[in-house]
Amino acid sequence: MLTGLRTWLTRMRALLISLPLCAGVAIWGIADPAGLAAWAGQVTGAAFDALDWLYMLWVTGLLVLAAWLALGRHGRVRLGRSDESPEFSTPSWLSMLFAAGMGVGLLFWGVAEPVLHFDGAPGYTPGSREAARHALAVTLFHWGFHAWAIYGMTALALAYFAFKRGGSFMPGAGLRAELPGRWVPAAAEAANITAIVAIALGVAGSIAMGVFQLQRGLFVLVETDPEALWISGALLLMLVVCYALPLVMPLDKGVKWLSNANMALAIALMLFLLLAGPTAFLMRGFVTTAGDYLTELVSLSFQLFTFERQEAAGWFQGWTLTYFFWWISWSPFVGVFIARISRGRTIREFIAGVILVPTVFSVLWFAVFGGFGLYEELYGLGGVVEMVRYDVSIALFTLLERVPFPGVLNATAMVLAFVFLVTSVVSAAFVLGMLSSHVANPDRRSKVAWGLVLALLGAAMILAGDIQAVRSLSVLGAIPFAAVMVLQMVALLRALKFDEARYLAERERARSWQ
């Protein structure tokens, strides 16, 4: 009996530590939201001040590593048996990974971020045409190759050890399998717990932002109070009720259906805006922005504003570093989820699907939504900058008021934001159940428990009251997980080298027998 209890405690150690920890943060945030937000801002600010140069090098290095693996000899390696076919069709695969990775964020920031950079990115005159052009390029820098390299490389490490070595999807699995030393078991367990906390905080931040946006949408549609806490609470409760059903359904039925429906609706909204707006301008912006992004990619990857004024460094930390850490905080969640649905794909196919395709879609998305907002400022009625300064949550709805059928479009955007949130929470609860229970298919109780904790954390961040506080809280768990990612990449490279040497030795042995 004692042996069985000891085994159970060992297996559930991550759950017994991480669940109370996340619940404690949620309770702190509900009881003292200002205090929690201030503490999170101090911690993240200190980390950024000390190690911003290292973080930028690391994220850029992940992109270089991804390109090297995709284009090199390892690109032919299949994640699974050599004759294994992918579990999901390519369209469903792309829809699921994209909806889980960035869905609600694209809606929230699609108009707001380019307009904010147009109004205040360092090195450019606010409101100028040069600032507009740079605004789209720097937005893509935050949402493009670097972001998906963070997701993709985390997912690749997990998928490789799960499908090639028969291990689990635990973030520490690769460390246990490949790294030497007595410290490895403890580091692997710490990696699992760190990943759980990072996921919970990162997803809770998206819940808060989504509720903010939904509440502003109601203000535009039916003139409700955009600041009323009871409306925020009602929206959060409705969200919890709606994601409860998918939590008790199998992954391939719940998340797959939601993801496909979401992407179809998002593409329909984007195409309508493209056709109803200044189509030629937006398409020229798409081509120009893609070229500017590729042209500026190297310089942006190493731009730390070392010799600029303090305001520029503050902008860099508040935008670029915060975004990269936001992606890191989501990477254990999105990484596990992408790995879980990517069996049977080659490394080359995996990296192209996870990094290249979503980036191309992001270019088009921001060219349409952000480009339309910039067009209104430069050549249209104006006023978008003022609205975004007042409240970034209302940016999308402000723009949709300027095209035909604004009521229908605003309602569609709200439905899309809501379903994106449901998809993200369902996916996150599934992954949290996997990581905390050490099983590939967590039971319903585990998923529901994590769904409730995510709701509590979301409530805490809603009470924090502003987007900057939410962002600081969201990236808090990513700071230690960045170190875990370094160990994961070391383990992955060691495994690739060892497996390649073993394969060559076996092939040489087979030839000698012939």
- pLDDT, residue 37, reads 80
**Is 366 in contact with 143 (CB distance < 8 Å)?**
yes
Q: How many CB atoms lie within 10 A of CB 177?
A: 17
What's residue 512's pLDDT? 67
pLDDT at 3: 58
Provide the token pair at 106: 């694209």
Look up residue 312 and give its amino acid. Answer: A
DSSP 155-175: HHHHHHHHHTS---S-TTHHH
What local confidence, expressed as pLDDT, does residue 218 receive?
A: 85
Which pLDDT does position 291 carry in this prediction?
95
**Reported confidence tier of residue 32, pLDDT bands at 50, 70, 90:** confident
Q: How far, CA to CA in Å, does 501 sit from each of 37, 237, 258, 494, 506?
A: 50, 54, 42, 11, 9
Q: Residue 73 is encoded by which pair of tokens? A: 């000899």
Q: Under a CB-based contact definition with an 8 Å cutoff, are residues 347 and 82 in contact? A: no
Length reported for the chain: 514
CB atoms within 10 A of CB 386: 12
Name the more confident of 436 and 465: 436
Q: Look over the chain and give the mean of its residue pLDDT values, rounded to a whole number.
A: 84
Query: Which of the residue ranges 250-254, 296-300, 427-431 would you say has the lowest mean pLDDT?
Result: 250-254
pLDDT at 513: 66
Question: Confidence band (pLDDT; 50, 70, 90) for 364?
Answer: very high
Q: Which pLDDT belongs to residue 100? A: 55
pLDDT score for 479: 86
Q: Do the Cβ atoms of 426 and 247 come closer than 8 Å? A: yes
| The pLDDT value given to residue 507 | 67
Look at residue 508 and tell me whether its pLDDT is greater than 80: no
d(CA 393, CA 231): 15
Percentage of residues in the chain with pLDDT exceeding 90?
25
Give the span between the Cα atoms of 263 and 419, in whole angstroms. 10
pLDDT(245) > 90: no
pLDDT at 79 over 70: yes
Mean pLDDT of 441-452: 81
Q: Please enumerate in sequence order all residues whose Cβ is within 8 A of that of 161, keeping only pairs 6 or more positions apart, or say none.
A: 167, 168, 173, 174, 177, 491, 492, 495
Region 190-214: what's the mean pLDDT?
85
**Residue 151: what pLDDT?**
92
> How is residue 15 written in tokens?
């759950």
In this structure, are residues 242 and 510 in contact, taking their beta carbons and an 8 Å threshold? no
Query: If you search the block for the tokens 């609706």, which residue do you land on?
Result: 265
CA atoms within 13 A on the CB side of 494: 14
Q: Which residues contact 463 (CB under 8 A, 6 or more apart)?
A: 29, 30, 33, 229
What is residue 1's predicted lDDT score, i.e. its pLDDT? 54
**Is residue 312 scored above 70 in pLDDT?**
yes
Residue 34 has a pLDDT of 80
User: Which pLDDT tens digit goes with each residue over 103-154?
Assistant: 677 888 889 999 999 988 888 888 889 999 999 999 999 999 999 999 999 9
pLDDT at 97: 67
User: Rg of the chain over CA atoms, in angstroms?
Assistant: 23
Task: Check pLDDT > 80 for residue 269.
Answer: yes
For residue 346, the SS3 value is strand
Q: How many CA atoms lie within 13 A of 374 on its CB side?
A: 32
For range 33-39, the mean pLDDT: 82
The model carries a pTM of: 0.89
pLDDT of residue 56: 93
The Cα-based distances of 18 to 24, 188, 189, 258 in angstroms read 10, 14, 11, 28
What sign results for the dihedral spanned by CA atoms 460, 100, 363, 318? Answer: positive
